[in-house]
Amino acid sequence: MNFAQMLAMDVKPLPDTRAPKEEKKWQRATDAMHEAKHMNTVEKYCKAIGEEWVKTADVADRLGMSRMSIFNRLTEYHKKGILDRRPLGGKPYNHHTGWEWRVK
């Protein structure tokens, strides 16, 4: 069979073998689990930070994590009002020096 004959052939679509759509299955309510996990995480971060001003690198060391892996969580907690944030050393913010954190 050459290419021209192959192009001239009729193509039949494959039958649909997917299962028919069923009603939504029962799902476990996980809201309480997520809330408990969130509270445990907040407690862990607050315990690592404490009441004094702590720089991001020190928080990461106390948690045993890298700075960039905790930074989004710290900013999220700052937006929610759990943490206070200021530029390191009370000077104007500099990307290289970063932030200091404390629990409100």
Domain ranges within the chain, ordered by starting residue:
45-104
Q: How far is CA 2 from CA 6, 7, 39, in A?
A: 6, 9, 68
Mean pLDDT by 10 residues, the chain (104 residues): 84 83 76 92 93 92 91 93 90 85 92
Q: What is the pLDDT of residue 63?
A: 93
Give the pLDDT confidence of 15-29 residue by residue, as tens digits. 888 877 777 777 787
Q: How far is CA 101 from CA 4, 52, 66, in A?
A: 71, 8, 16
May I ask the CATH architecture of the domain 45-104? Orthogonal Bundle (1.10)
**pTM (2 decimals)?**
0.67
